[in-house]
């Protein structure tokens, strides 16, 4: 940097400083008064409703607004899972909301959504293409309350293993059926393949299922409840076939 450029930078800095020094304090307070809240991520809760709930914040200095208070107030709504509030200069706030949403459906007398926190939630149009857990029963139903239900937890754990280990297969699941306390059956699209997986040791059974699907076609059902053995039934054959895997 040459001498002339340094002089220009110093002059510019002094010019900015002079503006800041001569601007009245009341003008700066006015400059930072909240004029707009940008709501992000909210789908079920209208932005207009949120604006009404936080109307008292408008006109306040954004640096005097406690972001933690905004987050706590929003988290008191059982529909909301997480909140992140931040200031945007000179006079705005951005609030990012994560709403609870259905990860899988549950059929128990009627259809419910099940959230990531294992809470039953009302259904919406976003949940139309999700797989469904069947064979569970519970009452009374309380929305947005974590369920402690043995069979439902088993089905949830099984679904999570598919999601983590084989997303392609997980996306083909149409139903996880709790047939009894010793067997969970999974149905796959598009052909309705039924796979009996028993209870427990599901990662190993998933690997065995992957092997079966790689080498067999036209399957109607697969039973993996037996150690190192799979019982295979085919669409065009009434007989069962035993396969060591």
Residue 239, CA distances (Å) to 20, 219, 226, 235, 236 in order: 88, 12, 18, 10, 9
CATH 3.40.50 fits 104-244, yes or no: yes
Tell me the fold of 32-99.
Ubiquitin-like (UB roll) (3.10.20)
Strands ordered across the beta sheet of 36-40: 36-40, 92-99, 80-88
- 213-217 long-range Cβ contacts below 8 angstroms, 24+ apart: 216/243
**70-103 per-position pLDDT tens digit:** 999 999 999 999 999 999 988 999 999 999 999 9
- Determine phi and psi for 139, rounding to 5 degrees: -160, 155
**190-211 per-position pLDDT tens digit:** 999 999 999 989 999 999 999 9
The residue written with tokens 């150690």 in the block is 227
pLDDT at 243 over 80: no
State how far the Cα of 113 lies from the Cα of 37, in Å rounded to an integer.
30
pLDDT at 148 over 90: no
pLDDT at 50 over 70: yes
The whole-number average pLDDT for the span 179-191 is 93
- Domain boundaries defined on the chain: 32-99, 104-244
State how far the Cα of 201 lies from the Cα of 204, in Å rounded to an integer.
6
The whole-number average pLDDT for the span 223-233 is 90
pTM above 0.85, yes or no: no
Contact in structure between 93 and 87 (CB atoms under 8 Å)? yes
The residue written with tokens 């009996």 in the block is 196
Residue 233, CA distances (Å) to 81, 213, 218 in order: 44, 12, 9
Orientation of helix 150-165 relative to helix 202-215, angle to 10° = 50
pLDDT at 126 over 70: no
Task: List the one residue out of 62, 75, 53 whose CA is nearest residue 28.
Answer: 62
């Amino acid at each position: 940097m040459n001498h002339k450029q340094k002089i220009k930078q110093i002059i510019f800095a002094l010019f900015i400083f002079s503006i800041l020094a001569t601007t009245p304090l009341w003008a700066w307070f006015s400059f930072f008064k909240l004029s707009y809240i940008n709501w992000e991520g909210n789908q079920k809760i209208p932005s207009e409703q949120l604006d009404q709930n936080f109307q008292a914040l408008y006109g306040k200095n954004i640096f005097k607004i406690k972001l933690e208070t905004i987050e706590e107030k929003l988290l008191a709504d059982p529909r909301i899972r997480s909140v992140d509030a931040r200031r945007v200069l000179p006079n705005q706030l951005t609030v990012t909301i994560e709403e609870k949403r259905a990860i899988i459906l549950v059929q128990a007398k009627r259809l419910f959504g099940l959230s990531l926190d294992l809470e039953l939630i009302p259904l919406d149009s976003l949940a139309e293409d999700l797989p469904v857990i069947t064979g569970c029963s519970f009452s009374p139903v309380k929305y947005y309350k974590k369920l402690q239900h043995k069979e439902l937890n088993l089905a949830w754990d099984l679904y999570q293993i598919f999601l983590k280990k084989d997303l392609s297969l997980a996306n083909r699941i149409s139903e996880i059926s709790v047939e009894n306390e010793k067997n969970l059956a999974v149905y796959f699209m598009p052909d309705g393949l039924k796979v009996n997986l028993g209870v427990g040791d599901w990662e190993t059974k998933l690997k065995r299922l992957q092997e079966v699907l790689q080498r067999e076609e036209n399957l109607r059902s697969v039973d993996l409840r037996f150690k190192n053995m799979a019982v295979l039934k085919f669409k065009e054959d009434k007989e069962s076939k035993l396969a060591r895997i």
